[in-house]
């Protein structure tokens, strides 16, 4: 079965006692001559300061699954400490998206507390991911260097003086206009002395499509080079500097598909990470991945015997952390054994609409680390008033079914599109579109009994503070935009249209000719006529590979941001009705 990508995959504990996950080991066993280096690895933290009230799904050993409440930065810190405590020589690393698309208590403060948490947790290196660029190049540099210079609408340093990251960002394939990398491309960490001295080289990169996933305006000319080419050029340099082991931190990943959650077997691995690995220099020992929010531990030699990488990912929101062990032979200057397991950061129970999810006693429950709990609590209190204030009413629940595993926006996508259309009517807007991949966890708006939604709820599903752009498109150009979401280049994404706009599509047809009908208020779209179309500024800049929108002909910029438009639309007095019926209909043959 396909497990929801926001729910990490870990194996049953029937044979592992108090341990979490399964081991994958390669090469020879440990010998007295080897030096052990432990690595605690995470990815896609997304500023999850507090427990995210979602579960990690694990096998129950009987063919079914269990839900483990997991996550929260204070609990994550304890889990990381428990891993590091096993190794005199250790590193703590991340594979991108520490910040961006974050909880409100982090996002309201420009993700300064997310950096503060990682400083206290003891992170050593982070590979820059696409979400690190959400607020632009200059703000990202401020995250590394510190300071209170303002680059966004939000004011920095509102709670404390921001000193920047005490860990290093790595950005080997993020190339500035002058040809230099945005941050250092790689690093070396040395352990031991004399004949038992070993060096671990690290490379950090993001996916080459980052420009399609970030505001081009905020990138200020940064381009993203091919992942495998970048790594392969750096490996000889690290080896020349004496690196005995090479660890790649890459913000790109894959998916697995099995009958029960089982990352140890890494069943049916798919995704954009595979063609990268198939081209990678075999002197890379470990690939710590991310981006897909999936959890796995893979011996990649099962897929390509010529590429015996140990591939890992720890899911999302700090709900799991990977425990990696490298056995390095300093005489041979190489890794002779490597193994990994994913550890569930089981924390505290939470209530759902169908009952309470409690910790499972068969799995370790981590205690919150006091210093980080106090630090997070300070920001949580500062954000509480904003999180809890009423932000409008909705007549029922709306959701994006399937979450990240789905390329459709559901009723939640339609609500957001309707709000953006209403906010831009004065600019002549006739149609508005919301990109489903821009709808974030928990992918649902569930109002109180009287229909009230809080600002914290609406911000959680739409946290980017994008602007709204209305532009002119011919009917033929409108079709081309929809086709870009349905092509075979990127994961398919069916744009959520506003009320009155309907279209149908057939995925069995050739790419570029899959949209078979479009109507507005019941009338067919005229390919030669001009229509005014609203999207968020991310899409209008060509994000998510919607290049046709980047033309921005006759563009008008709204005074409201996307979140402000949603709040304004919900605040009309009576609860807004839940959209009925599909606005994008797939023809199945």
Residue 46 has pLDDT above 90, yes or no: yes
Full DSSP string of 505-520: E-TTSPTT--EEEEEE
88 contacts: CB under 8 Å, gap ≥ 6: 36
Indicate the average pLDDT of the chain.
91
Residue 536 has pLDDT above 70, yes or no: yes
Q: Strand 355-357 to strand 444-445: parallel, antiparallel, or no bridges (unpaired)?
A: unpaired
Residue 25's pLDDT band (boundaries 50, 70, 90)?
low
Residue pLDDT, tens place only, 230-274? 999 999 999 999 999 999 999 999 999 887 766 556 999 999 999
CB-based burial label for 82 (10 Å; 0-12, 13-18, 19+): middle
Longest CA–CA span in the chain (Å) reads: 79
CA 579 to chain centre: 28
Contact by Cβ (8 Å): 357, 84: no
| Residue whose pair of structure tokens reads 């729910």 in the numeric block | 7
Mean pLDDT of 312-327: 96
Residue 26's pLDDT band (boundaries 50, 70, 90)?
low
Mean pLDDT of 335-340: 97
* pLDDT of 367: 97
Contact by Cβ (8 Å): 479, 527: yes
* pLDDT of 7: 30
pLDDT, greater one: 252 or 550 = 252
- Of 68-77, 208-217, 256-265, the range with the highest mean pLDDT is 68-77
Model pTM?
Answer: 0.82
Distances (CA, A) of 264 to 24, 56, 88: 6, 16, 26
Mean pLDDT of 455-480: 93
Distance CA 312, CA 329 (A): 22
Among 224, 142, 143, 131, CA closest to 185? 224
Mean pLDDT of 450-476: 93
Among 300, 297, 276, 92, CA closest to 202? 92
422 contacts: CB under 8 Å, gap ≥ 6: 565, 568, 569
Distance CA 560, CA 562 (A): 7
Domain 389-586: assigned CATH number: 3.90.780.10
Residue pLDDT, tens place only, 131-169? 999 899 999 999 999 999 999 888 999 999 999 999 999
* pLDDT of 3: 29
Residue 179 has pLDDT above 60, yes or no: yes
Q: Give the helix/strand (H/E) hosting 460.
A: helix 455-461
pLDDT, greater one: 28 or 222 = 222
Sorted by where each begins, the domain ranges of the chain are 9-378, 389-586
Distance CA 317, CA 419 (A): 29
Q: Which of 27-41, 391-405, 572-586 has the lowest mean pLDDT?
A: 27-41
Residue 11 has pLDDT above 90, yes or no: no
Distances (CA, A) of 58 to 3, 318, 359, 360, 389: 10, 16, 12, 11, 36
| Residue whose pair of structure tokens reads 């739409």 in the numeric block | 462
| Residue whose pair of structure tokens reads 């109507």 in the numeric block | 519
Contact by Cβ (8 Å): 270, 253: no
Residue 1's pLDDT band (boundaries 50, 70, 90)?
very low
CATH superfamily of 9-378: Metallo-dependent phosphatases (3.60.21.10)
Contact by Cβ (8 Å): 366, 345: yes
Q: Which of 105-119, 156-170, 380-394, 544-558 has the lowest mean pLDDT?
A: 544-558
Residue 8 has pLDDT above 60, yes or no: no
Residue 186 has pLDDT above 50, yes or no: yes
* pLDDT of 542: 83
Eight-state DSSP code of residue 411: H
Distance CA 467, CA 535 (A): 9
Among 81, 71, 87, 50, CA closest to 6? 71
Distances (CA, A) of 156 to 50, 162, 344, 350: 21, 8, 33, 32
Distance CA 113, CA 332 (A): 43
- Helices 562-570 & 410-423, crossing angle to 10 degrees? 90
Mean pLDDT of 435-442: 88
Residue 32 has pLDDT above 70, yes or no: no
Tell me how crowded residue 177 is: count the other CB atoms within 10 A of its CB: 9
Contact by Cβ (8 Å): 349, 304: no
Q: Strand 530-536 to strand 431-434: parallel, antiparallel, or no bridges (unpaired)?
A: parallel
Residue 24's pLDDT band (boundaries 50, 70, 90)?
low
Distance CA 286, CA 276 (A): 13
Tokens matching residue 253: 């990943």
Residue 376 has pLDDT above 70, yes or no: yes
Full DSSP string of 186-246: EEEEEES-GGG-EEEEEEEEE-TTHHHHS-HHHHTT-EE--HHHHHHHHHHHHHHTT-SEE
* pLDDT of 216: 75
* pLDDT of 127: 98
Residue 29's pLDDT band (boundaries 50, 70, 90)?
very low
* pLDDT of 14: 29
* pLDDT of 23: 53
- Helices 73-84 & 370-388, crossing angle to 10 degrees? 160
């Amino acid at each position: 079965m396909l497990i929801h990508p926001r729910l990490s995959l870990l194996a049953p504990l029937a044979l592992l006692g108090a341990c979490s996950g399964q081991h994958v080991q390669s090469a020879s066993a440990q010998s007295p001559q080897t030096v052990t280096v432990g690595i605690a690895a995470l990815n896609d933290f997304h500023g999850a300061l507090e427990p995210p009230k979602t579960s990690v799904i694990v096998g129950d050993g009987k063919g079914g699954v269990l839900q483990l409440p997991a996550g929260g930065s204070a609990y994550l810190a304890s889990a990381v400490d428990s891993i590091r405590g096993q190794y005199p020589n250790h590193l703590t690393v991340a594979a991108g998206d520490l910040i961006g698309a974050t909880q409100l208590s982090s996002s309201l403060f420009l993700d300064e507390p997310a950096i503060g948490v990682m400083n206290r947790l003891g992170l050593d290196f982070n590979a820059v991911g696409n979400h690190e660029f959400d607020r632009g190049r200059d703000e990202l540099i401020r995250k590394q260097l510190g300071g209170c210079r303002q680059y966004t609408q939000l004011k920095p340093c509102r709670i404390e003086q921001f000193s920047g990251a005490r860990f290093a960002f790595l950005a080997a394939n993020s190339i500035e206009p002058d040809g230099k990398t945005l941050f250092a491309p790689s690093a070396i960490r040395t352990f031991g002395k004399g004949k038992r001295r070993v060096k671990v080289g690290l490379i950090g990169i993001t996916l080459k499509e980052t420009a399609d996933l970030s505001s081009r305006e905020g990138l200020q000319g940064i381009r993203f080079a091919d992942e495998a080419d970048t790594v392969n050029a750096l490996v000889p340099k690290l080896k020349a500097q004496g690196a005995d082991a090479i660890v790649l931190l890459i913000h790109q990943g894959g998916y697995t598909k099995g009958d029960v959650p089982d990352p140890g077997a890494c069943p049916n691995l798919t995704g954009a990470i595979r063609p990268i690995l198939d081209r990678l220099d075999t002197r890379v020992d470990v690939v710590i991945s991310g981006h897909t929010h999936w959890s796995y531990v893979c011996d990649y030699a099962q897929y390509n015997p010529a590429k015996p990488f140990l591939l890992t990912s720890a899911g999302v929101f700090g709900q799991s952390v990977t425990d990696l062990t490298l056995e390095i032979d300093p005489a041979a200057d190489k890794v002779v054994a490597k193994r990994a397991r994913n550890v569930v950061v089981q924390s505290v129970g939470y209530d759902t609409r169908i009952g309470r999810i409690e910790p499972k006693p068969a799995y370790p429950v981590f205690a919150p680390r006091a210093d980080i709990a106090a630090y997070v609590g300070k920001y949580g209190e500062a954000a509480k008033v904003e999180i809890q204030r009423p932000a409008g009413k909705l007549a029922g629940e709306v959701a994006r079914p399937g979450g990240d595993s789905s390329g459709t926006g559901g009723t939640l996508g339609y609500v957001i599109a309707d709000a953006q259309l209403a906010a831009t009517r004065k600019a002549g807007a006739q149609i508005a579109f919301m990109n489903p991949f821009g709808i974030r966890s928990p992918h649902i708006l569930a109002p109180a009994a009287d229909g009230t939604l809080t600002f914290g709820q609406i911000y959680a599903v739409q946290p980017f503070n994008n602007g709204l752009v209305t532009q002119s498109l011919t009917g033929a150009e409108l079709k081309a935009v929809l086709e870009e979401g349905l092509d075979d280049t990127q994961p398919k994404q069916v744009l959520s249209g506003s009320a009155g706009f309907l279209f149908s599509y057939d995925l069995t047809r050739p790419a570029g000719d899959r949209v078979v009908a479009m109507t507005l208020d019941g009338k067919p779209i005229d390919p030669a006529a001009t229509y005014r179309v609203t999207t968020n500024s991310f899409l209008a800049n060509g994000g998510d590979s919607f290049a046709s929108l980047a033309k921005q002909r006759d563009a008008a910029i709204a005074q409201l941001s996307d979140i402000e438009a949603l709040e304004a639309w919900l605040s009309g007095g009576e609860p807004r009705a839940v959209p009925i019926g599909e606005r994008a209909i797939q023809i199945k043959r």
